[in-house]
Amino acid sequence: MSAEVLQEIKDKFEGEWKVDRSECFEDFLREVGVNFFIRKMASMAKPVSTVKVDLEEERITVAMNAGFMVKADTYKLGEEFESEHQDKKSKAVVIYEDGKLVQNNTPEDTNIKPTKATREIVGDEMLLTMYVGDVVCKRYFKRTPK
């Protein structure tokens, strides 16, 4: 991975971002098998996402804190890593393409559908678009003041 690409990612994405609004989020959660109670809690939460780029280690960390749930993934671009969400493990790979961080998740459990997520900067927001089956969910994040 080139230092220039990682620096570009750091400049664009690094920081703390808070969910401002969502489209089809509960539909997405239902499609990936999240139970009713957790879906309702997650839909009401306004989680904070923190993105950090370690230029020396060439690693990116994306953490999500929704109060009742905290999740973090650390990875190198293009290298497979294990991601876990609600005790369900997936193999994941993130690439940087057309200015977007693109993550593909393949669940270990074949009864769970694969997902894709893209993060991009649109204006002054970070847009997280998540895909599963026919469902497309969009979550818009605003950068928190430093």
pLDDT at residue 97 in the model: 95
The whole-angstrom separation of Cα 69 and Cα 42 is 9
Mention every residue, 6+ apart, whose C-beta is less than 8 A from residue 11.
Answer: none
**CA-based angle 24:143:46, to the nearest 5?**
45
The predicted model gives 4-11 an average pLDDT of 95
> Which comes out higher in pLDDT, residue 12 or 88?
12
pLDDT tens by residue, 79-103: 999 988 767 789 999 999 999 999 9
Cross-strand partners of 65: 48, 70
Q: What is the CATH number of domain 3-143?
A: 2.40.128.20
pTM of the model: 0.92
Q: Pairing mode, if any, of strands 135-143 and 48-54? A: unpaired
Radius of gyration over every alpha carbon of the chain, rounded to an integer in angstroms: 15
> How far is residue 48's CA from residue 128's CA, in Å, rounded to a whole number?
13
How many residues are present in the chain? 146
Query: Tens digits of per-residue pLDDT, 26-58?
Result: 999 999 888 898 888 888 888 999 999 999 999
Specify burial of residue 82 (Cβ count, 10 A radius: 0-12, 13-18, 19+): exposed
